[in-house]
Structure 1
Amino acid sequence: MKYFLVGYMACGKTRRGREMAAELGIRFVDLDAYIVDRERRSIPEIFAAAGEAGFRKLETRYLQEVCELYGDFVMSTGGGAPCFNNNMQYMNAQGHTIFINTPVDTIVERLIRGKQKRPIVSKLNDDEIYDFVCRHLEERLPYYKQAKEEVK
């Protein structure tokens, strides 16, 4: 079975994905790490060179590549992956999607603690991060809600 964990950045997809894969005895794939490995460039470098549209094309290509190459796995997707190129419909057709629905305050706290690792919020102050997350999450929630399962 293919399991896809979706949700906003810093919601816990990677940690939960590793735990779930270990529990099930199957492969764990972090889609962003897979992209970095295949492209030999960091996500910020890809964004700088190709823009968001270019990154999203690569993201879709590698999502499909992982599905073709591997049987059973647990994948943590990037926060935007379900929102572009019909990726959410593709993941739902390929396996079981799980929305990790983490409270906004928890996400914001995690982003503030690790904001240097997240270029999208690194230049924002704490209040701006909160406002950004609320606005951005509202845009992405309709995609996340298409998951077959939701966990808190």
Structure 2
Amino acid sequence: MQDHLPANTDSLQPTRIILVGYMGAGKSTLGKALSKATGIPLYDLDTYIENRMRKTIGQIFEEKGEDYFRKIERNMLHEVAEFEHVIISCGGGTPCYSDNMDYLNRQGETIYLKAEPETLFRHLQMARIPRPMLKGMTPEEAQQFIATHLREREHYYLQAKHIHNVTLLDTFEKIAETVSIIREKLNI
């Protein structure tokens, strides 16, 4: 299985690449592509939580509330971020609660996938899974919500060790180019 390990496994430091950013920034898309390109396993934190809890994030919010979800999220984050040689795609809110962003910066190489609200909106329109936060909104309302919510959260995202500006990821070529840039930036 040597061919599935990242190139720098000879070092004593584990490789932990942690993707943060607003919903629709491309964390899951780029995480999958980066995992495929490097052989480093990807853990999508939201999917990890859903699998462990056997409920969707929406169900957890609806049944137990946001405070309960954020406690579960923090516990699961601490679990996944202890794994060696991983790529972690965080939920959009993960860095914004508790001491999560400080913890992530201590655990590995954090990358903020920074995108303009228009790009986020376009990505969310292309997504296969609708976002509960935007349910029932007109396109104009959704764009305004994204812009306002991003402003509230960006303070946390900007604490990442690396910032990568994301353009519209609407082709395989653009995704591959972004993965190449991230690999070069992190020397993986």
TM-score range, shorter chain: over 0.9
> 2-side partners of 1:105 and 1:115: how far apart?
18
Contact in 1 for aligned 2:81/2:88 (Cα 8 Å): no
Contact in 2 for aligned 1:2/1:71 (Cα 8 Å): yes
> 2-side partners of 1:116 and 1:39: how far apart?
19
Instruction: State which of 125, 128, 131 in structure 1 corresponds to 2:138.
Output: 125
Contact in 2 for aligned 1:115/1:122 (Cα 8 Å): no
Q: Does 1:8 align with 2:22?
A: yes
How far is the alpha carbon of 1:115 from its aligned partner?
8.5
Q: Under a length normalisation based on structure 1, what TM-score does the superposition of the two structures give?
A: 0.95
Q: Does 1:52 align with 2:66?
A: yes
Query: Percent identity of the aligned residues?
Result: 39
Match of 2:176 in 1: none
Matches within 5 A, 1:84-99: 84-99=97-112
Report SS of the residue matched to 2:110.
strand
What does the per-residue CA deviation read over 1:6-38, in whole Å, with 9 as the maximum and x for residues that have no partner? Answer: 000011001111111222211100000000000
How far is the alpha carbon of 1:110 from its aligned partner?
2.5
Query: Residues 72 and 59 from structure 1, CA distance in 2 versus in 1: closer, same or farther, beyond 3 angstroms?
Result: same
> 2-side partners of 1:120 and 1:104: how far apart?
15
Q: Does 1:140 align with 2:153?
A: yes
> 1-side partners of 2:162 and 2:104: how far apart?
13
Match of 1:35 in 2: 49
Report SS of the residue matched to 1:117.
coil
> 2-side partners of 1:43 and 1:129: how far apart?
20
Q: Does 1:24 align with 2:19?
A: no
Report SS of the residue matched to 2:43.
strand
> 2-side partners of 1:96 and 1:113: how far apart?
28
Bigger mean CA deviation after superposition, 87-96 or 20-29: 20-29
Match of 2:122 in 1: 109
Using CA pairs under 8 Å that are at least 6 residues apart, name the structure with larger relative contact order, 1 or 2: 1
Alignment size in residue pairs: 151
Q: Under a length normalisation based on structure 2, what TM-score does the superposition of the two structures give?
A: 0.77
Unaligned regions of 5+ residues in structure 1, if any?
Answer: none
RMSD value, Cα:
1.3
Report SS of the residue matched to 2:115.
coil
What does the per-residue CA deviation read over 1:37-67, in whole Å, with 9 as the maximum and x for residues that have no partner? Answer: 0000001000011111111111100000112
How far is the alpha carbon of 1:112 from its aligned partner?
3.5
Match of 2:90 in 1: 77
Structure 1 or 2, whichever has the larger Rg, is 2
